[in-house]
Amino acid sequence: MQIYSTIFPVTDMLTQDTLIRLVIEWNQGSPYNKLSNLNWDGKSRNIKFEEENLSLEIQEIRAYNTIAIRFHQFDENNIIWNTDVVVNFDKHIFSIKLDRETTTETTGFIPKFKTPYLVNKLLDGGYVGKDNGMQISEQVIPVTRNNYHIIEDVICKQAVYNMPIVYVTKSWGKYPFEIQNLAYKLRGVAHVLGEEEADVSSILKTSCNGMNSHHGSVGIYYPGKTNVHKIITTSKYVDKGDILIDRIVRIVCRYVNQQARDTMMTFEGVQNELFRLQYEKAAEKRIKAESEVSEVYDTFSTELCDKERTIEELNTRIMALQAENQGLRAKYDQSAETPLLYYGEEDELFEGEIKEHILEMLRNQLTCVKKDTRKEHILIDILESHESTGVLDEKRAEIKRILKGYTKAGDNLKRALKSYGFAITNDGGHYKLIYKDDPRYLYTMAASGSDSQRGGENLSAEIIRDML
């Protein structure tokens, strides 16, 4: 489950060797997760250090001028932690994400986490660049009557940044919480701006048509001109500054965690591309060998089959992890808040399924209730407090893609359906599909048929109607 993620530009001061040294210093400075055998020769960029439940793996892919690093830990509570760092040195882009996975043997679980200390080292070393002109920092950016245009342009969508903007206003001359604490927790993830002078709100009210946050409220502005912003009223958090800070951090991190990133900015993507390049190299060797000795060809043929199988498994694993992350993020959000409803006896068919169905039904119900009534206000509040992961739409699109225009229940189709979650049994000229071993969701699929152009569409429509 991905619990922390950020991407930001770095300066050309951050070289490949500098990055590796900083990661080693980060690990060696840890009092708990230190590798005792981490002796880097200063040259190797494809190397792995392992010790008991810890490992540090470094991979370089020169074709993309990219280095990917994974620090893996299996802690005393049987929780798996992966911290992935990927840097593209051509584009000067730095990516870091923190994943946490529990196991059946997990004995303790702490829902909170700390920002990886490596981000501090980059900030302190001056390696972090600017976000479309705004310096990325762990300090609050004060907004005064002389520079209010920086937040005015954000509110009016005249300026677009790659990182979220959090704008905190004052109430009777005071911030609703320790704003510097918020800036520190969101370092490298968002820009934190603070209203420094009282008359800024009145200026913005005129220039932004009253869309600005004011009187102690907090505005969260997401990247992109089409994205909506969020205003948090802080009056109900009097004397609960830490709770409010945690909520803002959770909202921002939830948004950032859900943003798709380029495959080559992920550890799995770099690893998969390395396998692909190795595969191409092996293919070239095979072509050369074919013209020489058939025996040599057989050897390389086996190697190529292994590479193809490994690449297919990695691609499947990446897709499964992405789907799992979306579901686990939803479950994490539920565990971090006081629940409105509790689950009954119905098991989830996939992570986050029940919550997504409930949110979709509430959205549909919202179109039926009378405007400006208590029911409408409650529905809007619940929907605004729970962001949809989109997993249902992804599941619907995926089953449509799998079954689109099938003409024969071949091995590829069966493999795709099994990966989706179906168990498949043969019943003469038909196949029976059972989803997640739940007999209530049983479907029949012809091995082949004359209506093949519509058969796949009809079957996917039936599955979506009953399950999704």
Tell whether the model's pLDDT for residue 450 goes beyond 70. Answer: no
CA angle 343, 98, 166 (to 5 degrees): 85
Tell whether the model's pLDDT for residue 147 goes beyond 90. Answer: yes
Judged by average pLDDT, the poorest of 5-19, 209-223, 279-293 is: 279-293
Question: Rounded to an integer, what distance in angstroms lies between the CA atom of residue 263 and that of residue 258?
Answer: 14
Q: What does the pLDDT read at residue 67?
A: 96
Tell whether the model's pLDDT for residue 149 goes beyond 70. Answer: yes
Name which residue leads in pLDDT, 114 or 198.
198
- Cβ within 8 Å of residue 351, ≥6 positions away: 323, 324, 326, 327, 328, 330, 331, 391
pLDDT digit string, tens, across residues 360-382: 999 999 899 999 999 989 988 88
Judged by average pLDDT, the poorest of 107-116, 183-192, 286-295 is: 107-116
**Burial of 171 per CB tally in 10 Å (0-12, 13-18, 19+):** middle
Q: What does the pLDDT read at residue 228?
A: 72
Q: Which amino acid is at 404?
A: K
Name which residue leads in pLDDT, 361 or 322.
361
Q: What does the pLDDT read at residue 109?
A: 59
Name which residue leads in pLDDT, 290 or 79.
79
Q: What does the pLDDT read at residue 84?
A: 95
Tell whether the model's pLDDT for residue 267 goes beyond 90. Answer: yes
Q: What does the pLDDT read at residue 307?
A: 81
Which range, 49-53, 65-69, 351-355, 432-436, is most confident? 65-69
Q: What does the pLDDT read at residue 327?
A: 59
Mean pLDDT across the stretch 264-282?
Answer: 90
Percent of the chain with pLDDT over 70: 90
pLDDT digit string, tens, across residues 178-215: 999 999 999 999 999 999 998 899 999 999 998 899 99
> pLDDT-derived band of residue 336, with 50, 70 and 90 as boundaries?
very low
- Cβ within 8 Å of residue 425, ≥6 positions away: 431, 432, 434
> pLDDT-derived band of residue 113, with 50, 70 and 90 as boundaries?
low
Q: What does the pLDDT read at residue 52?
A: 85
Tell whether the model's pLDDT for residue 89 goes beyond 90. Answer: yes
Q: What does the pLDDT read at residue 72?
A: 92
Q: What does the pLDDT read at residue 294?
A: 63
Mean pLDDT across the stretch 168-176?
Answer: 92
Q: What does the pLDDT read at residue 437?
A: 84
Q: What does the pLDDT read at residue 320?
A: 67
Q: What mean pLDDT, rounded, does the chain reach? A: 86
Tell whether the model's pLDDT for residue 106 goes beyond 80. Answer: no
Mean pLDDT across the stretch 81-98?
Answer: 94
Tell whether the model's pLDDT for residue 451 goes beyond 70. Answer: no
pTM for the model stands at 0.63
Tokens matching residue 360: 């979709």
Q: What does the pLDDT read at residue 445?
A: 86
Mean pLDDT across the stretch 397-415?
Answer: 85
Q: What does the pLDDT read at residue 107?
A: 64
HEC string of the chain?
CEEEEEEEEECCCCCHHHHHHHHHHHHHCCCCCCCCCCCCCCCCCCEEEEECCEEEEEEEEHHHCEEEEEEEEECCCCEEEEEEEEEECCCCEEEEEEEEEECCCCCCCCCCCCCCHHHHHHHHCCCECEECCEECCCCCEEECCCCCHHHHHHHCCCCCCCCCEEEECCECCECCCCHHHHHHHCCCCCEEEEECCCCHHHHHHHHCCCCCCCCCCEEEECCCCCCCEEEECCHHHCCCHHHHHHHHHHHHHHHHHCCCCCHHHCHHHHHHHHHHHHHHHHHHHHHHHHCCCHHHHHHHHHHHHHHHHHHHHHHHHHHHHHHHHHHHHHHHHHHHCCCCCCCCCCCCCCCCHHHHHHHHHHHHHHCCCCCCCHHHHHHHHHHHHCCCCCHHHHHHHHHHHHHCCCCCCCHHHHHHHHHHCEEEEEECCEEEEEECCCCCCEEEEECCCCCHHHHHHHHHHHHHHHHC
pLDDT digit string, tens, across residues 132-141: 999 999 999 9
Name which residue leads in pLDDT, 282 or 77.
282
